[in-house]
Structure 1
């Protein structure tokens, strides 16, 4: 474990700036910054921006003075690096703009979104942070045949199954303390508490095969109940046959498993960083159990497009990681 800082060579706001990072733990990084009086506003997804006049203080307190190249190499190896292509979409302002397209004009919705954005940027998150939220939302868009990213101006607000699925993904890891089952239940409870006051339409009872609230601009009590159900479903990732919304949400949440090997390896490093406090042997045991549970599912992906795009590579990634864990000393 090490704190690293590069030379102050980045100009902005009338001074030069350094990057302060940890090569193992965001908790370690935040604790170090707090001891030095570096405000949380200086934190930018994976590093603190440090003005030139504080560089020597960081080194004196124990940060290793390294080149910018070495800092990037070690940060990437840790899994904590947020690549440049993901940074813009993961920023609070970009996520806020994305949320605003879900419930436009609903009183109180913007405040709920602001609370969610704050939660997704909590400092202890290495994998289950804003980049993960962006990834699952974009994966859902792919499954639904939409363009990933913030909807274009003038595009109709989502409704029915799509609205419910998007809201569920916004809430599905909104509470993240690293306790399987408890986190999903707490996140579902948060969804009910946050969305309940936003209900603007009557409770609906759709007919068989109907898309609930399709075409409606309202949030109904039924929507809130369904969002909470979908959030809880991400604990097992086992939707029932015919559960269209459940299949979409679970496939979007698991899409990272079907990533290319280099991206999957970064995901694995990020997960380990979130559990840096857990000894290696206990982590290997717990992680292996998670992988075995996923591999034991009748089908990892439940939508046709999810199976086509991600299933084969996901199984290969999972089996490769599991073999490494079981073969580790």
Structure 2
């Protein structure tokens, strides 16, 4: 069984590979410093779901779909940084994460690459794709957003753990307020004609995701 440090080491190696593939103007020491900063952020005490375990789950997904992507290294870095700033009491985490990523990476990547990562992270705020992106970038963004929502279509046991972890992150919110807020979020998801934008994820997860969300709504109504 892998220990947390083993998993973090593997995630760190993967991070180094993607970043090194995009620039030769960075040293192993610099990459390690960037990685340790990510580890520190995702290890903050207010996190229960938005941890490095979440990033690991996304990178497992990434490995199975990366052949569909036109710019896999950009998508991988967007995954690593998309929740790097996370305060459950704030509503601008995606913006702060996008700014953090571009500020951190601007010394090593081109302006265009940083702008792409910024835009991708911002799309995770409402899981909608900017209509101005071209077809290749639309496809990449769609996979990124579907990966981020893939937990919704997990088996119920995994989904239930996810729901409990989200509640844990919102311990500062009273039960009634949490129930009302979470219910609104879930009903908003169900209102979408499709939860998943790519055929790959739609065909695999859509039915289970909708069943999970309805199950959680039933549980919330009973509180």
Provide TM-score, normalisation by structure 1. 0.60
Does residue 288 (structure 1) correspond to residue 198 (structure 2)? The answer is: no
Structure 1 residues 145 and 250: CA distance shift in structure 2, 3 A: same
Task: Considering fraction of residues, name the structure with more helix.
Answer: 2
Q: CA deviation at 1:92?
A: 3.0
Aligned-partner Cα distance in 2 for 1:180–1:248 = 26
Question: Who is 1:236 aligned against?
Answer: 126
Q: CA deviation at 1:93?
A: 2.3
Question: Who is 2:73 aligned against?
Answer: 163
Q: Which structure would you say has the larger Rg?
A: 1
Choose 103-112 or 172-181, whichever is displaced more: 103-112
Aligned-partner Cα distance in 2 for 1:90–1:261 = 27
Aligned-partner Cα distance in 2 for 1:124–1:90 = 23
Question: Who is 2:116 aligned against?
Answer: 226
Q: CA deviation at 1:109?
A: 3.1
Question: Who is 2:199 aligned against?
Answer: 304
Question: Who is 2:53 aligned against?
Answer: 131
Cα RMSD after superposing both structures: 2.1
CA contact (8 A) 1:133 1:170 kept: yes
Q: Which blocks of at least 5 consecutive residues in structure 2 are unaligned?
A: none
Question: Who is 1:267 aligned against?
Answer: 162
Give deviations 1:52-103, integer Å, cap 9, x for gaps.
Answer: xxxxxxxxxxxxxxxxxxxxxxxxxxxxxxxx56x44874323222211112
After the TM superposition, list the runs of 4 or more consecutive aligned residues in structure 1 that deviate by more than 4 angstroms.
Answer: 87-90
Task: Considering fraction of residues, name the structure with more strand.
Answer: 1
Structure 1 residues 106 and 134: CA distance shift in structure 2, 3 A: farther
Aligned-partner Cα distance in 1 for 2:61–2:5 = 14
Provide TM-score, normalisation by structure 2. 0.87
Does residue 251 (structure 1) correspond to residue 167 (structure 2)? The answer is: no
Q: Which blocks of at least 5 consecutive residues in structure 1 are unaligned?
A: 1-83, 147-158, 200-219
